[in-house]
Amino acid sequence: MRVARGEGDGEGRYETHVVPQTYRSTVLDGLLHIQRHLDRTLAFRYACRAAMCGTCGVRVNGVERLACSTHLSAVPGGDVTVEPLRYLPVIRDLMVDFEPFFDAWRAVKPTFMPGAAACADGSPAGFATIGPDVRERQVIDRHRECISCGICYSACDVVGLAPSFPGPAAITRSFCLIMDSRDGGREARLEVLDREGGCWRCHTHGTCSELCPKGLDPTVAIEEVKRLLARRTLQKAFGGPR
Amino acid sequence: MHRLRPDRRVMAYAELWPTHPRWGIGAWWAQRITGVLLVVYLIWHVVTIAGAPRHPERFAALLRFLRHPVLFTALLAALAYHSANGVRLVLFDLGIDAMRGRTMFWACLVLTALLVAAGLWRGVLRGL
């Protein structure tokens, strides 16, 4: 395994280690072997080891993957190069600072804002529910299991070209709330996404959807937001129901 | 009840190595490059045709130039790809995403190949 090393803005380097490999060995197993037996100073993050927490996102041979769910045997070729995610400042080795990712996340107003339909009688017991068979719920379900791993952010070439672009994960989160009829922040969110550097910067490369470890489809979510904005503009221009 | 489509389930749980995960940037660059080439060709084409009554020899030279098999094929391929990929993007913009983006892109390449083959066949029949 060839692992990227380095601290902050300092000069980076690669270190090569030979790690044992079984049929089920993952990239994370390799990193743990290096840390425990070969070089204790190697820094990387992990937690659940089950592709649920989104902590161990790295680039494996240039492709963004969760280290815990990438088998060494699945990577083409015998050499595996592991690098930190792109567009996020490196703290050390494979650890990156997620601040830019969560800045973008905060910018699209990611928290629920109760609207008129949120509480039927103003009490928590009267909280409106959306059943699993309702179309609104089905649309949201397709996009809602994001684990904030940052893989789509690193995979998105537009994030690299236009740092003001919030990235696929943030727009997908915003889309889930926009589609929620109980939420009262729909207009505010659409305003943010309609700005320069908002969802219109997406070039529909589809890399985020290709690489999302949870099988979500951020490209489709972004297109849905674009359609909502286009419809909203037409309605503003020609009148009609919002 | 919402369910992941089979191809998404594979991506999510089988831990397979994604093949060609960055096809989108390639498709994007190809769309831009063919677009610029077609705009240049279009301007050249319009200017030459507009001047054809005054400069028939230039028009004849253009026709001879365009009959070169390599140039004819390249122009046809640029036009076919730009059209097919453009249709793919419009369908996606309209929310018609029955197939995964990559599958749509491969379908677009097959359509491009078919259009080029049909164009070449017609060109050969006309004595290219």
Give A80-92 pLDDT, tens digit per residue: 999 999 999 999 9
- Assess if residue B60 is contained within a domain: yes
Closest CA to A35 of A79, A81, A70, A1: A1
Measure CA A18 to chain center: 31
Q: Given pLDDT bands bounded at 50, 70 and 90, which one contains residue A173?
A: very high
Q: Are residues A186 and A160 in the same domain?
A: yes
* Residue A216 and residue A145 in contact, taking contact as beta carbons nearer than 8 Å: yes
Domain residues for B52? 38-66
Q: Looking at the 3D structure of chain A, how many domains does it have?
A: 2
Residues A119 and A222 in one domain: yes
User: Do B43 and B74 have their domain in common?
Assistant: no
Of all residues in chain B, the percent with pLDDT exceeding 70 is 84
Q: Is residue B86 part of a domain?
A: yes
Q: How is residue A53 written in tokens? A: 């927490």
Is any Cβ of chain A less than 8 angstroms from the Cβ of B101?
A: yes
CATH number at residue A47: 3.10.20.30
The domain boundary residue, chosen from B28, B47, B66: B66
Averaged pLDDT for residues A102-120 = 83
Residues on chain B touching A207 (C-beta within 8 angstroms):
21-22, 24-25
A49 and chain B in contact, CB less than 8 A: no
Q: Does A53 lie in the same domain as A160? A: no
Interchain CB contact of B8 with A (< 8 Å): yes
One-letter identity of residue B119: G
Nearest CA in chain A to B6: A215
User: Tell me, what DSSP letter sits at residue A92?
Assistant: E
Model ipTM value: 0.79
Q: How far does A126 lie from chain B, in Å, by closest CA?
A: 24
* Residue found under tokens 């994007």: B28
| B108-117 per-position pLDDT tens digit | 999 999 999 9
H helices within chain B, ranges in order?
Answer: 6-13, 23-50, 56-66, 69-93, 101-125
CA atoms lying within 13 Å on the CB side of residue A117: 10
- Model confidence, pTM: 0.86
Q: Which chain A residues touch B97 with a CB distance below 8 Å?
A: 220, 223
- For the residues A151-170, what does the mean pLDDT come to? 94
Structural domain for A178, as ranges: 99-238
Q: Considering only alpha carbons, which residue of chain B is nearest residue A218?
A: B101
Q: Are residues B55 and B73 in the same domain?
A: no
The minimum CA-CA distance between B70 and chain A, rounded to whole Å, is: 30
Task: Give A26's strand partners.
Answer: A71
Looking at residue B15, its pLDDT comes to 59
Residues B57 and B73 in one domain: no
> In sequence order, what are the beta bridge partners of A95?
A92
pLDDT at position B65 is 82
Exposure of B124 by Cβ count < 10 A (0-12 exposed, 13-18 middle, 19+ buried)?
exposed
Residue range B17-32: mean pLDDT, rounded: 90
Q: Is residue B2 part of a domain?
A: no
> Tokens 């369908």, residue?
B91
The residue of chain B with its CA nearest to that of A61 is B17
CATH of the domain at A167: 1.10.1060.10
Band of residue A196 on the pLDDT scale cut at 50, 70, 90: confident
Task: Give B114 to chain A, closest Cα distance, Å.
Answer: 24
Average pLDDT of chain A, as a whole number: 90
Q: Phi then psi for A105, rounded to 5 degrees? A: -60, -45
Task: For B88-110, write each residue's pLDDT tens digit.
Answer: 999 888 888 666 778 889 999 99
Asked if A165 and A53 sit in the same domain, the reply is: no
Token pair 């996020």 is found at: A88
Cα–Cα–Cα angle for A11, A14, A20, rounded to 5 degrees: 155
Whether residues A88 and A166 fall in one domain: no
Cα angle A46-A49-A50, degrees, rounded to a multiple of 5: 135
Last residue of a domain, one of A69, A96, A123: A96
